[in-house]
Amino acid sequence: MRVGLIVDSACDLPYEFSRRHDLFVLPVTAVIDGQTYIDEHEPVRTQEFYQSGLLLKGHHAETQAFSARQIHDLFMEKIVTRFDVAICETVTRSRSLIFQNATEAMNSVMAHYQGARKVAGRDGKFSMGVVDSRQIFAGQGLLAAHTLRLIGQKLSENALRHEVETFTDKIHTCVIPRDMHYLRQRARKHGDKSVSALVAFLGETLNITPVIFGLGAEGQPAARTRSFDAAVEKVMNYAAGRVEAGVLTPYVSLSCGLTWTEIEDLPGLNRLRDACEQNGVELLLSQMGITSSIHVGPGSLCLALAAEPHQFSDFR
């Protein structure tokens, strides 16, 4: 039985990791200044995106979920003919229509997959499930990495889905936005009130950069610093301390809306790398995808790990 994992373009993971594990990425449409881009997490296009400065102030950017029809067609062509069981993990449904559209597409696929499998020469039944990850960006990437680990353990389909849905409630996420007003405007469009007007005001007028921390996509300001670098160092120290204390899956996911040169210069990154190496944890370091960067703003950072209940202040 071949099991496939599908994520969408809001899921941040290193390209080589995704390719090595045969991860299928469901694209998202990005519209920037009226120009349409299809975000498939292709690394060359992502790097060009950052170097071009397309999300700097003055540019208007939005994302659009693929329609149920588009997703149906992709599932029939790319998934039904390759896998016997498929799990589709989407960005939290509170931020996008992807979960809704993927669920509608799945229902249609389950009613019509037999012909496509017959043409492809695949015997047996096909089954599929769509899971609301309740995560964003690096958090969604962490869930995907853990899911791939579970798939490797050859769990039954029901056990696999149960483990995934239980695990997602244990993912802690840190987000450092570079532009608080950009983030607040985006958040208000999606009903996320975690970024208050006061924090947005402080972020612009006093150069105070917050660290937003919480379970999954539900975060609150946990620290305020005088610079982006100071905020990054706090997050790196938090993550290193949490890794040393123990994590629930051997991964830390870190995505950055920066060029690779800027990423390598991040303060505290080497300390986190050392902590991961010494504790048998893989650091999944990636450029933030186009979709993620549009949602949280260019130059931002997102880190996720899974652990027992704790506070950000416990490890900073």
pLDDT tens-digit map of 92-140: 998 889 999 999 999 999 999 999 998 888 888 999 999 999 999 999 9
Mean pLDDT of the chain: 88
Instruction: Give the pLDDT band of residue 45 (cuts 50, 70, 90).
Output: confident
3-state SS, the chain, equals CCEEEEEECCECCCHHHHHHCCCEEECEEEEECCEEEEECCCHHHHHHHHHHCCCCCCCCEEEEECCHHHHHHHHHHHHCCCCCEEEEEECCCCCCCHHHHHHHHHHHHHHHHHHHHHHHCCCCCCEEEEEECCCCEHHHHHHHHHHHHHHHCCCCHHHHHHHHHHHHHHEEEEEECCCHHHHHHHHHHCCCCCCCHHHHHHHHHCCCEEEEEEECCEEEEEEEECCHHHHHHHHHHHHHHHHHHCCCCCEEEEEECCCHHHHHCCCCHHHHHHHHHHCCCEEEEEECCHHHHHHHCCCCEEEEEECCCCCHHHCC
Higher local confidence (pLDDT), 84 or 198: 84
The predicted-structure confidence for 56-97, as pLDDT tens digits, reads as follows: 654 577 888 999 999 999 999 999 999 999 999 999 998 889
pLDDT, residue 206, reads 61
Instruction: Give the pLDDT band of residue 282 (cuts 50, 70, 90).
Output: very high
pLDDT, residue 189, reads 62
| Share of residues in the chain with pLDDT > 90 (%) | 61
pLDDT, residue 123, reads 85
Q: What pTM value is reported for the model?
A: 0.92
Going from the N-terminus, what domains does the chain have, and what CATH number goes with each? 3-168 (3.40.50.10170), 170-314 (3.30.1180.10)
